[in-house]
Amino acid sequence: MENLNQEENKPIIKELSSSVFFGKKFINCKHEEVSSEAILNCKLICLYFTAQWCSPCTIFSKELIKLYEETNQGQKLLEIIHISFDKNESSFKADIADKPWVFIPYNDPFIKEIINRLKIYYVPLFLLVDRDLNIISDKCRKELIDEGPTVSEKWLKNLK
C-alpha cells in the first residue's frame, strides 16, 4: 500500500487519540504485559499488519527482525506493534513465538477497530507513525527491502 496517507500528517485513526491507543494492552512473545510507556520512550514506532498464513509476511518478518535487532543495539530506539490478521489463536501464537517486538493480544476487539478505521485490506503493511498516530511513512517496507536495516538511521534523521 504505497499511498495509504492521502493527506500529509493526517491522524491515521480518526476520533481515536493516541492516549486511547497507547492505553491499550500490549504483550511480548511470552504473553507478558508490556507498558505503553516503554513503547512511547522509543524514537521510532511502527505498526506492522501481518498474519502467520501470509508467506510475504513471513519473508518480511525476517527482515524486520534484523532491523529491530540492529536498530536497538545499545539503546532501545525502535518498537514495532504487531497487529495480527490471524484467524485463530494457535496461528497467532506460532507467528509471535520468535518475534522480539510487542503485540496487541489475539482477538482484542481493538484490532478490528484499527483495521476498519484504517481500511486495511491486505498484509503485510508496515507503517512508521509518531506518538500522535500520524503516518510519517507508509513506504517503510519498500525502504527496508531496498536499503536494509540501516534504513532506520535515515528514519531517525528525518524525525529531527
CATH code of the domain covering residue 74: 3.40.30.10
| pLDDT exceeds cutoff 80 at 4 | no
Range of the domain at 129: 18-159
Residue 1, in any domain of the structure: no
Average pLDDT over residues 4-19: 47
Q: How many domains does the chain have?
A: 1
Residue 41, in any domain of the structure: yes
Helices (H), 102-149: 109-118, 140-147
Paired sense of beta strands 102-103 and 78-84, if any: parallel
Question: What is the value of pTM for the model shown?
Answer: 0.86
Residue 2, in any domain of the structure: no
Residue 89, in any domain of the structure: yes
CA distance 159 to 66: 21
Q: What's the pLDDT tens digit per position in 125-158? A: 999 988 877 788 889 999 999 999 999 999 999 8
Residue 51 contacts by C-beta under 8 Å, 6 or more apart in sequence?
Answer: 57, 84, 85, 86, 87, 91, 95, 123
Average pLDDT over residues 22-30: 85
Q: What's the pLDDT tens digit per position in 27-64? A: 999 989 998 888 888 999 999 999 999 999 999 999 99
Residue 6, in any domain of the structure: no
Residue 5, in any domain of the structure: no
Q: What's the pLDDT tens digit per position in 36-45? A: 888 888 999 9
Confidence of residue 17 (pLDDT cuts 50, 70, 90): low
